[in-house]
Structure 1
Amino acid sequence: MIRPLAVVAATAGAALLFDRVAEVLVRRAAARRPDNPAWALLRRCRPPFLLALGSALLLGVEPGIGLSGDWREPARHLVVLLAIGGSAWLGSRVAALLIDTSFNSYATRPRDPARVRRARTQTGMLRRVTSAAIAVMALAAMLMTFPGVRTVGASLLASAGLIGLVAGVAAQSTLANLFAGIQLAFGDMVRIGDNVVVAGDWGTVEEITLTYVVIATWDQRRIVMPVSYFAGKPFENWSRNDPSMTGTALLHLDHSTPVAELRKEFEERLRRTELWDGKGCALQVVDTTPTTIVVRALMTARDASDAFDLRCWVREELIGYLRAEHPYALPRVAVTGLPDDPGTVPASPSAPV
């Protein structure tokens, strides 16, 4: 019993020594380029690396451990399962490392923000698909190590068509969301960071997975929707190509409003705010009613958030200007008719107090 424990301890020590040497080499490489985010990702590979390396070393020294016949086969089977699991875990981490490193090198270069968001969405989806594929292959490899599974393997392959049909019918919704998620990421319909309007709610795409999309709304709510919704129903994407927005502010004013002066004041005040991107603006009378005119102010902004703030700011500024300089331009509501109006009902005298 002492010999197997000694061999296991020696194997663990060799794995830790190799890990220590690799850590020193990685630290020296990281000291040359400390701003490279790959080093932080590489540290995440350490636990699966130790598991895979230790299992491989145990498989190599297993004939010299000297276990009895009743213990040797189960112990070897356990080590094989650990080796398969550790290798799959390490492969998943390495694939994620390569994908994230490629995205980081792409994002650090001067590029269009829309392309960066598209690359982030696609790399995230590719990372999840790769991890799922590696997990499925590792599970299949583990099952094939059991003799009973290998025995019925031919029967399973023969009935694979029927099983696939039954599984497809049972998991129709899940498979639809899975393929819709891949279509969503690589079809470039919506990306992480896009401003969208879904089911009447405006928000920002916060997360895209294989089965659902998380929308962060302006009031800090989180809307979780299946990805099949985006593949089968129309939705608004305000930042797909260009995040710039045109905001509108409507004012109901009196007919005597000096529109020309109001337009000049509107343009001058826009130049003093950083919310306006300087691309375009307009102030027009778009409608009239028997008591008021409808004045519409148009102004462009860099994104939807700035457009909303700019609309609110323009309303406050123009109303404040009219109240201070042209109070007669504000809408008034008549509570009594003119004295010579035949339809006016004379007010009754006030009752004595």
Structure 2
Amino acid sequence: MVLAGRISDFIRQTMAGGPDWLGPAVVLLGALLLSLLLHWLLFRALSRWVDAGSGMAGSALRQAKRPMRLAFLLAALAIAVPRTDLPWRLQDVLGHIFLILLIVLIGWTSILLTRNLSDRVIRRQRMDLDDNLAARKLVTQFRVLRRTATILLTIFTVMGVLLTFETVQKYGVSLFASAGAAGLILGLAARPVLANLIAGIQIAITQPIRLEDVVIVDGEWGWIEEIFATYVIVRIWDWRRMVVPLSYFIEQPFQNWTRESASIIGAVHWYLDYTVPVTEVREKLEEIVRESPHWDGQVINLQVTDADKDAIALRGLMSARTSPQAWDLRCEVREKLIAWLQEAYPEALPRMRAELLSSPADTGASPA
């Protein structure tokens, strides 16, 4: 851009003997043409360099080509306008406008590149598999970091635009110089937003939750449907949606059923009579589970977990690839085993026992 300024000075001196408008027009036109030439040379060299690289770099380069062309034009105008013979007020206004547009364009281009990079990574992940833990980790990280980066880039862009005004610069310096009560008030007011923003970065790095994780939050069982910059959408099993602040998952305890793996062990309980043949029930349970398409082939077990004065408690354990399949497996096993007990051992179902004692009058015996 220093070269563009020197060329504009040379053109302005050459056109000094012509009409008043000719010199500024030639300077502006020359600056625009030179910026287009520099843009073409730069992206041609970059295109040759990334041809041997990854497709992601090529996509990012294509995404940034048009916005950067406009950025080169605005930068050329911002440099050339102050060097023309236009009235000084008009020069200052135009130069300020071009500078603002350039800052906005750079911020917008950065946001587009961030989204393009994250979208390409996310599209490569297979979320439709049963064991999609690695994909969910990566998608969660890129989605949360993309939203956080978008917010930060927007804030920095707005700050850059505001700092182009002299009044804002003066007030900003005085505000930092006297960062007392005003800074404390602003910090307290922005605390919820900043807490959730920082929590989003923590979740992207440490990942206590991921997309499609099965969680229990405030007694509600559901899936992590979406993670935004400041809150999380939990899809509850009955299609309701719970909106939870991001900071909740950093500060409060909750259950995550798919933290390390999508596989999960389900349990089914039966309360039966003391006469039930436990060995045969165990064999029937294994038969039912092995025939089920929901079983993942890992865990089958039956245990007597309790016994009181009326019944004994049996607990069957069985594993599945995902928590929804574990739920279906539990319901299937519970239904089929009860049907088998009703048919094969109806006397083993829970029942109340009572003992009838006959009185001496009924037996005809005289009381002693």
Shorter chain as denominator, the TM-score bin is: 0.7 to 0.9
Shift of 1:106: 8.3
Shift of 1:236: 0.9
Higher CA-based Rg: 2
Which of 228, 239, 246 in structure 2 is aligned with 1:227? 246
Shift of 1:313: 0.6
Q: Deviations over 1:220-270 (max 9, x none)?
A: 121111122222221111111122211111122233323222211211121
- Residues 1:277 and 2:296 aligned together: yes
**Which residue is equivalent to 1:75?**
94
Aligned residues: 334
Which of 99, 104, 110 in structure 2 is aligned with 1:85? 104
Alpha-carbon spacing, 1:64–1:201, altered in 2? closer, same or farther (3 Å)? same
**Which residue is equivalent to 2:231?**
212
Provide the rounded CA distance (Å) in 2 between the counterparts of 1:215 and 1:55: 45
Provide the rounded CA distance (Å) in 2 between the counterparts of 1:47 and 1:316: 63
**Which residue is equivalent to 2:357?**
341
Which of 123, 135, 141 in structure 2 is aligned with 1:116? 135
1:38–1:101 Cα contact (<8 Å) kept:
no
Which of 286, 289, 297 in structure 2 is aligned with 1:267? 286
**Which residue is equivalent to 1:346?**
none
- Residues 1:185 and 2:192 aligned together: no
Alpha-carbon spacing, 1:42–1:253, altered in 2? closer, same or farther (3 Å)? farther
SS at match of 1:155: helix
Alpha-carbon spacing, 1:195–1:47, altered in 2? closer, same or farther (3 Å)? farther
Provide the rounded CA distance (Å) in 1 between the counterparts of 2:285 and 2:118: 49
Provide the rounded CA distance (Å) in 2 between the counterparts of 1:236 and 1:39: 42
> What's the TM-score once normalised by structure 2's chain length?
0.73
2:295–2:320 Cα contact (<8 Å) kept:
yes
**Which residue is equivalent to 2:6?**
none
Alpha-carbon spacing, 1:230–1:342, altered in 2? closer, same or farther (3 Å)? farther
1:247–1:307 Cα contact (<8 Å) kept:
yes
**Which residue is equivalent to 2:222?**
203
Provide the rounded CA distance (Å) in 1 between the counterparts of 2:167 and 2:79: 26
Structure 1 residue runs without a partner (length 5+): 344-353
SS at match of 2:291: coil
1:195–1:237 Cα contact (<8 Å) kept:
yes
2:290–2:297 Cα contact (<8 Å) kept:
yes
2:265–2:317 Cα contact (<8 Å) kept:
yes
1:182–1:210 Cα contact (<8 Å) kept:
no
Alpha-carbon spacing, 1:65–1:106, altered in 2? closer, same or farther (3 Å)? farther
The one-letter amino acid paired with 1:120 is V
**Which residue is equivalent to 1:350?**
none
Provide the rounded CA distance (Å) in 2 between the counterparts of 1:5 and 1:312: 80
Alpha-carbon spacing, 1:153–1:200, altered in 2? closer, same or farther (3 Å)? closer
Shift of 1:342: 5.0
- Residues 1:155 and 2:174 aligned together: yes
Report % sequence identity.
Answer: 37
**Which residue is equivalent to 1:304?**
323
Farther off after superposition, 148-157 or 290-299: 148-157
Provide the rounded CA distance (Å) in 1 between the counterparts of 2:103 and 2:253: 44
Provide the rounded CA distance (Å) in 1 between the counterparts of 2:280 and 2:71: 77
Shift of 1:161: 5.3
> What's the TM-score once normalised by structure 1's chain length?
0.76
Structure 2 residue runs without a partner (length 5+): 1-20, 360-368
Correspondences of 1:30-109 after superposition (within 5 Å): 48-49=67-68, 51-59=70-78, 62=81, 68-101=87-120
The Cα RMSD (Å) is: 4.3
Provide the rounded CA distance (Å) in 1 between the counterparts of 2:186 and 2:303: 61
Provide the rounded CA distance (Å) in 2 between the counterparts of 1:127 and 1:313: 42
Q: Deviations over 1:200-221 (max 9, x none)?
A: 0111112223322221111112
